[in-house]
Chains A and B, each alone.
Chain A
Amino acid sequence: MKSSAVIILLALSSALHAQELYVSTEPASNMPAKSIGLRLNNYLMPPYSNIGAGVIHTNSMFRFNPELMWGISKNSMLHFNFYMSNMHQAAFKFEGSGLYFKYRFLSIDNSQRHFRMAAYAKGALINNAIQYNELNIGGDNTGITTGIIVTQLIHKLALSFTAGYIAAFDNINDNFLASQPQQSINYSLSGGYLLFPFKYKNYDQPNVNIYAEFLGKYNPETKEQFIDFAPAIQFIFKSKMRLDIAYRRQISGNMLRINNQEFVVKFEYNIFNAYQKKTKE
Chain B
Amino acid sequence: MTYMKNLIFILTLVFVSLNTSAQFSKAELQVNGLTCSMCSLATQKQLQTLDFIDSIGTDLNQTIYILYFKKGADTDADQIRKKVEDAGFSVGSLTFTIAIETMKVENNAQYVYKDAVYQFMNIESQTLSGNVNFKVIDKGFITDKEYKNYLKAASKYPAYKTGKTLEGKRVYHITLEKDEK
Contact = CB atoms under 8 A, between A and B. Distances in A.
Interface string A92-114: 00000000000000011111111
B25 interface: no
A242 B49 CA distance: 24
Q: How large is the interface on A (under 10, 10 to 19, 20 to 34, 35 or more residues)?
A: 35 or more
A93 B118 CA distance: 63
A108 B90 CA distance: 9
Given A201-B60, A273-B46, A17 B86 contact: no
B48 interface: yes
Given A34-B86, A276-B49, A280-B51, A111 B92 contact: yes
A108 B145 CA distance: 11
B37 A111 contact: no
Nearest to A279: B51
A74 B88 contact: yes
B31 to A, nearest CB: 8
A279 B49 contact: yes
Nearest to B35: A112
Interface in A26-48: 29-35
A73 B85 CA distance: 10
Contacts of B14: none
A114 B34 contact: yes
Interface stretch (A139-147, A169-177, A202-210): A202-210
Contact of A239 (B32, B33, B37): B37
A60 B114 CA distance: 67
A33 B36 contact: no
Contact of A15 (B30, B38, B88, B143): B38
Given A29-B88, A74-B85, A203 B51 contact: no
B67 to A, nearest CB: 15
Contact of B37 (A30, A109, A236, A279): A236
B60 A32 contact: no
Nearest to B50: A279
Given A19-B36, A109-B33, A35 B51 contact: no
B39 A272 contact: no
A273 B36 contact: no
B37 A200 contact: yes
Interface string A204-221: 010100000000000000
A270 B38 contact: yes
B150 interface: no
Nearest to B32: A109
A277 interface: yes
Pick from A108, A111, A113, A273 the residue with the most CB of B within 10 Å: A111
Contact of B30 (A111, A203, A272): A111
A15 B37 CA distance: 10
Interface of B: 30, 32-46, 48-51, 60-61, 63, 70, 85-90, 92, 143-144
Pick the 10 closest A-B CB pairs, nearest first: A18-B36, A109-B33, A200-B60, A279-B51, A239-B41, A33-B86, A272-B45, A114-B33, A109-B32, A109-B90
